[in-house]
Structure 1
Amino acid sequence: MLIHPAIDPVALHLGPLSIRWYGLTYLAAFGLFFALALQRLRDAPFASMTGARAWNRQHVEDLLFLGAMGAILGGRLGYCLFYKPGYYATHPLEVFAVWQGGMSFHGGMLGAIAAMVWFAYSCGKPMMEVTDLAAPCVPTGLACGRLGNFLNGELWGRLCDPTLPWGMVFRGAGDAPRHPSQIYQFLLEGLLLFALLWWWSRTPRPRGQVSAFFLLGYGTLRFFAEFFREPDAHLGLLGLGLSMGQWLCVPMVLGGMALWAWSLRQPSQNG
């Protein structure tokens, strides 16, 4: 049985300014997205695009900025709407109190999609081409976020068998060992999904298929990982004994299946 280390959530003090580990993981997530997206431009089908279809560094910078804003705003609004709608309906000003915590991946994804719709429209690029570029660059950012959750000792897992070698006691979660579900999600939704998506996207695929792979992969892996994650205390388990996170994955997987079926009718993107 392991004990979660007492890690100070503040990584660095610069006078009155406090830089938190969680903020640094967000910075790392955006940096990895930028580097990976630039690498994507060197691979097919993007490397061979010319004229109006061509991508460049400025496109990636704009996509990162808009996507980051969409993910942050959508993540916050998604948490308020999906997880505590009643509370924030009566305390609307606290929607802006981001320092209190509370972000939803599914809301962040919807916000990022909205940002990519705007980017695609403003640049005159097909929406599915934009999402196919971005999708393989996202899981490393998710891995960074789960690492931040672990460093903060939050979003811990459900109770586990005391003999489990990596069972961990988290501060504020009682004295019984729990699954370190943040690490499970770091490995599954982060590193494993990145490896699979990056490998799949290195070969030109029909338009939309890489995006469909992301929806199917994340939705499936997150649904599985939620069996080891403690559900939100104010929600508990919902219908069919599933958590809110699992129910939010259902439309994501169904959408991925529909998009995959659509992509099979598209020609391969060979530039």
Structure 2
Amino acid sequence: MLTHPQFDPVAVSLGPLSVHWYGLMYLVAFLQFWWLGKYRLLHQPQFARAGWTVRQLDDLLFYGVLGVIVGGRVGQVLFYEPGYYLTQPLQILAIWRGGMSFHGGLLGVLVAMALYARKSARHWLEITDFIAPLVPLGLAAGRIGNFINGELWGRAADASLPWAMVFPAVDQLPRHPSQLYQAGLEGLLLFVVLWLYAGRERPRGAVSGAFLVGYGILRWLAEYFRSPDAGIFGFSHTVSMGQWLSLPMIAAGVLLIVAAGRQRA
């Protein structure tokens, strides 16, 4: 069996200033978003025809960062740990310790993109189609941050599993390193699928729909290897909170793909 290395959550200390690995992973996520977005602008002609510019990409990144941080933290508080944060409200601001909900972050980004759509006079789905392939690698970076922090550990696994891992901060049971599963599924695999799918011009809403369906299905599968949390619904032994929140994503994605198909027809 493997043992979690129990990394120091602080990557660099400069006097009173500490830079956490979790924060660095978010920085990596935002940088790759900008780099991949610039690549799309320069190498996929449909965006040049639509008048997209690098300056608009900068604005998208700014709005997206706000949506991710605010929405992700609010989602964690409301969906997963309302009782804890009700008794420890100041901990809501301690984002460097981890605790960001993807589904909350997604809602935050959707609101931020709606605000940007209004400002730029672009269709909301045109914007989400552009950013959808830029998201998965950022999700992978976030899951690696979870692994470094030793949080969101997996369910107990058979000790014969070659990559079963003990998380000493939890117990001495062999567990699935579910953070790495999610980095591979919701991060690398989803990125490859979306990047290839979005390489050709698609009807408006199709790429956004593919992202919602793809992430929702992969997250549903990955939840079977994560230690379940009861969340606000309390169904930890049947359907986890992550699975509940993925269901409307899948449904919305299917509707978008169907609507996009009708546009093409």
Q: Is 1:60 matched with 2:61?
A: no
Q: What is the aligned counterpart of 1:172 among 169, 172, 177?
A: 169
Could you tell me which residue of structure 2 aligns to residue 7 of structure 1?
7
- Residues 228 and 236, structure 2, Cα contact 8 Å, conserved in 1: no
Give 1:233 shift: 6.7
SS at match of 2:263: coil
Matched residue, 1:78: 75
Instruction: Measure, in 1, the Cα distance between the counterparts of 2:118 and 2:201.
Output: 23
Q: Secondary structure at the match of 2:5?
A: coil
Give matches, 1:100-119, under 5 Å: 101-119=98-116
Aligned positions of 1:1-271 closer than 5 A: 1-42=1-42, 43-49=44-50, 54-89=51-86, 92-99=89-96, 101-232=98-229, 238=235, 241-267=238-264
Deviation string, structure 1 residues 141-182 (Cα, Å, up to 9, x no partner):
000000111111111100001100000001222111000000
| Aligned-partner Cα distance in 1 for 2:245–2:194 | 21
- Comparing 169-178 with 179-188, greater Cα deviation is found at 169-178
Structure 1 residues without counterparts, runs of 5 or longer: none
Residue 63 to residue 257, structure 1, CA distance change in 2 (3 Å): same
Q: SS where residue 130 of structure 1 aligns? A: helix
Hey, what's the Cα distance between the residues in 2 that align with 1:197 and 1:188? 12
The verdict on how the C-alpha distance between 1:194 and 1:252 changes in structure 2, with shifts beyond 3 A counting, is same
Q: Within 1, Cα distance between the matches of 2:243 and 2:230?
A: 15
Deviations 1:232-251 (A, max 9, x none): 27779617701101110001
Which range moved further: 148-157 or 83-92? 83-92
- How far apart are residue 85 of structure 1 and its match? 3.0
SS at structure 2 position matched to 1:261:
helix
Instruction: Kindly provide the amino acid, as one letter, of the partner of residue 208 in structure 1.
Output: G
Give the aligned residue type for 1:74: G
Give the letter aligned to residue 218 of structure 2: L
Q: Deviations over 1:52-110 (max 9, x none)?
A: xx010110000001111111000011111111334445655543343554211000000
Aligned length: 264
> Which blocks of at least 5 consecutive residues in structure 2 are unaligned?
none
User: Deviations 1:170-212 (Å, cap 9, x if unpaired)?
Assistant: 1222111000000100100000000000000001111100000
Deviation at 1:263, TM superposition (A): 1.0
Q: Which moved more, 1:237-246 or 1:150-159?
A: 237-246
Contact 1:226 1:243 survives alignment (8 Å) = yes
Q: Which amino acid aligns with 1:151?
A: I
- Tell me if the contact between 1:207 and 1:267 (Cα under 8 Å) persists in the aligned partners: no
Aligned-partner Cα distance in 2 for 1:153–1:65: 29
User: What is the RMSD computed on CA atoms of the aligned residues?
Assistant: 1.9
Q: Percent identity?
A: 54
Secondary structure of the residue aligned to 1:13 is strand
In 2, Cα distance between equivalents of 1:242 and 1:104:
17
AA aligned to 2:48 is: A
Tell me how far apart the structure 1 counterparts of residues 232 and 20 of structure 2 sit (CA, whole Å). Answer: 28
- CA 1:131–1:172 in structure 2 vs 1: closer, same or farther (change >3 Å)? same
Q: Whole-Å Cα distance in 2 between the matches of residues 57 and 132 of structure 1?
A: 16
Secondary structure in 1 matching 2:162: coil
The aligned amino acid for 1:166 is W
97-106 or 172-181, which deviates more: 97-106
User: What TM-score do you get using the length of structure 2 for normalisation?
Assistant: 0.94
